[in-house]
Structure 1
Amino acid sequence: MRRLFSLAVFFVLVALGQLAQAGAPPQITSFQASCASPCADSASISLSASVYVTSPATVREVAFYRSGQATPLATRTASPWKYTWSGVAPGSYSFTAVVTDSTGAQGTSNAQSIKVVQTPQVTLSAPAAGANLLTGSPVTLTASITDPDNIGVSNVNFYNAASWIAGASSPSAANTFSASATFTKTGAASLTAVAYNNRGTKTTSPVVNVTLSAPPANVPPPRITSFDPVCAWPCADAASIALSATAYANSPNTIRQVDFYLAGQATPLATVRTAPYQYTWKNAPPGTHVLSAVVTDSAGQQGSSATKTIRVWRTPQVALTAPLAGATVAAGVPVTLIATITDPDGIGVTPVNFYNGAHWVAGASTPASPNTFVVTATFAQAGPLNLLAVAYNNLGTSTTSATLSVMAGTTASPPPASTGPFAYLAIEGADRLAVVDTARDALLASVPVGAGPQSVAIAPDGGRVYVANAAAATVSILDATLPGVVGLIALPNPPRSLAVSPDGARLYVSGGAANAVQTIDLTTQNVFASIAVGSDPQGLALNREGSRLFVANRADASISVLATASNTLLVTWPLPATSEPTVLALDAAGARLFVTAAGTNALYVLDATSGALLSTVPLPMRPRGLALSSDETKVLVSNGNGLDRGEVTVVKLADGSVRHLPLPTGARPIGVAMHPDASRIYVASQSEGLVHVLDAATGAILSSVAVGSGPYALGHFIAWPQTNLALISPMANAWVNQARPKLEFAWATRCLTFDCQLGEDYYRGAQLLVSIGGAAAAGSTTFTAGRVEWIPDAPLAQGSVNFSALLKDRLGRY
């Protein structure tokens, strides 16, 4: 053992000797760069190194370098190897240390990076230096922040010398903090603003010296001497309106600010504190806007201009409604092209030109019927056609339809059959019912109904669509397979909302009579009961069994619960006094009732048994439409400010989380619904004459379908094809010589309107529920197009067997 130990020592010594003879370079064994907190502005950065040299060499020097600089910041010839760089300006820096030994060999450290930030700076931007401020009147103090490194400012305090006078804990605008203060003593004032940043430090503004004077007696208020709003041509859709005012204040008072107001709004469109007093209101929505200017002087006195009115027009929209998308037209044979105009403001359209891509096809200078332009064109060559219509209006502008793709072939054929479902939308401004194929997101039909339609209801079997015509005080009945009006029910008052009983025998109408819900026998189309409810009844919701009807009473803020079997009022649940409940939705289990509160901008969730308020979801704007997703995991609420902004708020019921899906500027959303497969959201924009189709996952707008002027589209307006189930084999009362007999059913789908083709994919995930003797029976199920087979898992007992079957689709409907 001793011999081995000596040998090991010998080899180590030889190795070290060889290393020294080879002149191994020196090393920086550690290098640190640190910045003293808060590492901002004129900072101090400490550089420290540890070195190693191989004997017999010694350290000659250690130099500290800044990246990109040939000359070192400092050189040290003796330990400790440290240097402090002071007064470092904001910026990003990289440092290295280089050691040189007595033989001239060098070693370099890894680079170390330091960022010196610039502390947010603050200036007192109002009042101006030298201003004469009046005591006893509020003065706006404004601090402007410069924050190039985005550190953030948490709050700003304002001081007169050392005395605190006001504070602001949140910005009034980007990089701006404002507060109001009232001075009581006359004399000189030295104003400053102190900004506290998110690094825990503060900065103080330069002093602004002002004079505080007592207000003079009997100084007349200021006045607006001229106010001239001008709308840029053609003043349509998302317009730009230039607001300009000339203001005058009586000496010694001065003008503090000029505010521009839109009638009905408490908050000004803009506040301008320095001349010229001008502001451009961009994206002003269509409508009649009443505008004014208000001047405030340094004493707090005000003067208002006369109101001025600006009309922003809605440009007529055009849709190519014939031929249908996807159809094949015969080459060489005349084809009818139809353009439908939506012109809510009556601007007028002439002419309309039709194009195939960029090539002009035909033109029409006069309408064939109101808002309809028709031409005939012949396409000589077979092949794809990309048709569109361009409508020229009396404002001197034009609009272009969406491109409609068809095929020119040897023979004509209808468009591919649709798989549905179909959306039925009440178009208030055009007195029509629009039918949209959601498989292609295309308008299929526009059917005349009564005046002012607002909501729809679809019969459970899909055979009928009912439309509430508010202006006409009628309900139109339409055959969904035509579609066309097959009946009309007159009412004493404008109807608001509709609900159909599960058996399709009764129609419930709110608003059709004063403060009542009317029950209509759909066989005779006569009203046979009128149930008194609260004031101004609006939305309706019927439970799955059809035994309970819920009514939203807007004016007296309550929910009425009705027993439909006896047509009586069971109970009334009060809501917050200013809530204005309007639209209702009930989950399939009848457990939760969802209520839009237009007065409080909220969604209420009630216990549908007791009426207890389970939760309140605040909404950003006034709610208009409400719908449950088909899987009942989400609630959709359309809401808007009534002017130029709208969105769909999506509430996830599992955790109450909220998503906000914005709509285009100028949209005024009302009705909303989700596609039964939960992939898309449909929302009607009353101001645009469009139905916007949103991706339910991302909120992106996939398409916008022109449906006519003023779509209201309240009600559950998307219908899914209905299915009937019939036993094929064995026949009823037949003898079966099998313990586990195979039951074979046929299922037929009623597509509600137009042609449709549904195959096996439609029932992927569906269930056939079989009961034997009233008890659920287990078995295996096989689906094919138009057929479903079921075989029991266990042998059946001998004797007579009574069974029933229900087909439950993938969305849980029977």
Structure 2
Amino acid sequence: MKWLIGLLLLSSPASAVSIYAHTHAGMLSPAVKGLPARVYVPNGKDNTVSVIDPATFQVIRTFPVDKEPQHVVASHDLKTLWVASDQGRTSLTPIDPRTGKPGQPVPTPDPYNLYFTPDGRYALVVAENERRLDFRDARTMRLVFSLPVPCQGVNHMDFSPDGQHVLAACEFSGDLIKLDLLARKVTGKLHVGGMPQDVRLSPDGQVYYVADMMLGGLHLIDGRGPTPRKLGFVPTGKGAHGLYPSRDGTRLFVSNRGEGSVSVLDFATRRVTARWRIPGGGSPDMGSVSADGKQLWLSGRYSNVVYVFDTRSGQVIRKVRVGQGPHGLTFFPQPGRYSLGHTGNYR
């Protein structure tokens, strides 16, 4: 019952206008006061994390982590960053954002990705290879319960405005599943084909956008019923992969990994209004919008660089050399009251 009350309280009046109402430029939580701005890049092929100073675009530190780090994720309370490594000695490695230095890894089976329930009670470990979601105590990372999923390759997700439901993508079976967190069960599954990737809810909380790397665009999904329902599809570009709302909540940036571009979708019209191409091509993957909203930082998955886009002009203003196979980088801190996980999902 306490969890239900917490979820209802988190559905604030502001969310009726926009679920991103608390993530605009400059709206940093008191919890991150005084933290230095840094970009944390997990290099999946050489098992390291590169730390970039965004003011100088210089790598200021590189440290080793367990095999194949996939994403760097902010904790719900914004006090810790977690590196999810899902191969070999699988683990979650904590980073102190005040020092930028790692702590002792926490053994965790198959953590491909990491999310947090909106009430902050659970860390939701996405165990992609094990075909399940592990709910852990968000403070201790102790396993509380696991939820098997009826699909293959569960990877990314987003939460409903009231925090009670989740829409998750399963890339290897081409499915979307809906979960009821209070009932602790999967309520429905929709087969969309292709290879669904990142999931992001529209500002009004009505439509989920799901990037499809194989089909090259976004599925528009109504997730309000027990079973997800497809509303349409918007082509964006080859290898559509990561989704990031602009700081004012009017645009959605879509990384097209297969063609070296970023498409810009207007939330109000659900249409692509621009496409930013990387000169000479590239492989933009996962990342974050800067705290002031002026830059979009994306890893170059097969290029061993990080791309920095100007969100006003669409120009690539920097390429920062990092390790091999950079993946789910995060810019931290970012605006928001709390983190829902992944590399830039705040409310």
Which TM bucket (shorter chain)? 0.7 to 0.9
- Counterpart in the other structure of 1:462: 78
Q: What is the percentage of aligned positions where both structures have the same residue?
A: 21
Query: Is 1:448 equivalent to 2:64 in the alignment?
Result: yes
Q: Is the 8 A contact 1:512 1:518 kept in 2?
A: no
Secondary structure of residue in 1 paired with 2:314: coil
Secondary structure of residue in 2 paired with 1:658: strand
TM-aligned CA deviation for residue 460 of structure 1: 3.1
- Counterpart in the other structure of 2:185: 568
Name which of 252, 266, 282 aligns with 1:635: 252
Partners of 1:511 and 1:670 in 2: CA distance:
20
| Pairs aligned (count) | 303
Return the structure number with greater strand share: 1
- 1:85-484 maps to which residues of 2 (within 5 A)? 421-472=37-88, 473-484=90-101
Q: 1:449 to 1:652 in 2, by over 3 A?
A: same
- Counterpart in the other structure of 1:490: 107
- Counterpart in the other structure of 1:693: 308
TM-aligned CA deviation for residue 592 of structure 1: 2.2
- Counterpart in the other structure of 1:117: none
Q: Is the 8 A contact 2:178 2:223 kept in 1?
A: no
TM-aligned CA deviation for residue 580 of structure 1: 1.5
Q: Is the 8 A contact 1:510 1:538 kept in 2?
A: yes
Q: 1:497 to 1:697 in 2, by over 3 A?
A: same
Deviation digits for residues 290-348 of structure 1, max 9, x if unmatched? xxxxxxxxxxxxxxxxxxxxxxxxxxxxxxxxxxxxxxxxxxxxxxxxxxxxxxxxxxx
Q: Is the 8 A contact 1:661 1:699 kept in 2?
A: yes
Secondary structure of residue in 2 paired with 1:613: strand
Partners of 1:696 and 1:544 in 2: CA distance:
26
Partners of 2:328 and 2:101 in 1: CA distance:
18
Deviation digits for residues 659-697 of structure 1, max 9, x if unmatched? 111113252221133223332221211233211111112
Secondary structure of residue in 1 paired with 2:243: strand
Partners of 1:554 and 1:527 in 2: CA distance:
25
Partners of 2:159 and 2:321 in 1: CA distance:
31
Q: 1:517 to 1:594 in 2, by over 3 A?
A: same
- Counterpart in the other structure of 1:713: 328
Q: Which has the larger radius of gyration?
A: 1
TM-aligned CA deviation for residue 722 of structure 1: 6.9
Q: 1:568 to 1:487 in 2, by over 3 A?
A: farther
Q: Is the 8 A contact 2:214 2:238 kept in 1?
A: no
Q: 1:419 to 1:439 in 2, by over 3 A?
A: farther
Q: 1:540 to 1:567 in 2, by over 3 A?
A: same
What one-letter code is carried by the residue in structure 2 that aligns with 1:509? V
Partners of 1:561 and 1:588 in 2: CA distance:
19
Partners of 1:466 and 1:434 in 2: CA distance:
14
What one-letter code is carried by the residue in structure 2 that aligns with 1:654? A
Q: Is the 8 A contact 2:178 2:187 kept in 1?
A: yes
Q: Is the 8 A contact 2:218 2:234 kept in 1?
A: yes
TM-aligned CA deviation for residue 535 of structure 1: 1.8
What one-letter code is carried by the residue in structure 2 that aligns with 1:499? Y
Q: Is the 8 A contact 2:255 2:285 kept in 1?
A: yes
Partners of 1:639 and 1:496 in 2: CA distance:
21
Name which of 294, 297, 304 aligns with 1:679: 294
Partners of 2:103 and 2:188 in 1: CA distance:
36
- Counterpart in the other structure of 1:549: 166
Deviation digits for residues 614-670 of structure 1, max 9, x if unmatched? 3311133112322222222111111133xxx41111111222133111113252221
- Counterpart in the other structure of 2:267: 653
Q: 1:612 to 1:427 in 2, by over 3 A?
A: same
Q: Is the 8 A contact 1:468 1:474 kept in 2?
A: yes
- Counterpart in the other structure of 2:232: 615
TM-aligned CA deviation for residue 548 of structure 1: 2.2
Higher relative contact order (CA 8 A, sep 6+): 2
What one-letter code is carried by the residue in structure 2 that aligns with 1:471? Q
Q: 1:423 to 1:555 in 2, by over 3 A?
A: same
What one-letter code is carried by the residue in structure 2 that aligns with 1:651? L
Partners of 1:687 and 1:556 in 2: CA distance:
24
Secondary structure of residue in 1 paired with 2:83: strand
TM-aligned CA deviation for residue 490 of structure 1: 2.8
Query: Is 1:539 equivalent to 2:156 in the alignment?
Result: yes
Deviation digits for residues 363-393 of structure 1, max 9, x if unmatched? xxxxxxxxxxxxxxxxxxxxxxxxxxxxxxx
For normalisation by structure 2, the TM-score amounts to 0.77
Partners of 2:257 and 2:115 in 1: CA distance:
26
Partners of 1:544 and 1:482 in 2: CA distance:
34
What one-letter code is carried by the residue in structure 2 that aligns with 1:452? E
Deviation digits for residues 701-739 of structure 1, max 9, x if unmatched? 21222232221126x654326789xxxxxxxxxxxxxxx
TM-aligned CA deviation for residue 443 of structure 1: 2.8
Partners of 1:553 and 1:561 in 2: CA distance:
11
What one-letter code is carried by the residue in structure 1 that aligns with 2:320? V
What one-letter code is carried by the residue in structure 2 that aligns with 1:581? P
Secondary structure of residue in 1 paired with 2:139: coil
Deviation digits for residues 179-234 of structure 1, max 9, x if unmatched? xxxxxxxxxxxxxxxxxxxxxxxxxxxxxxxxxxxxxxxxxxxxxxxxxxxxxxxx
Partners of 1:682 and 1:452 in 2: CA distance:
21
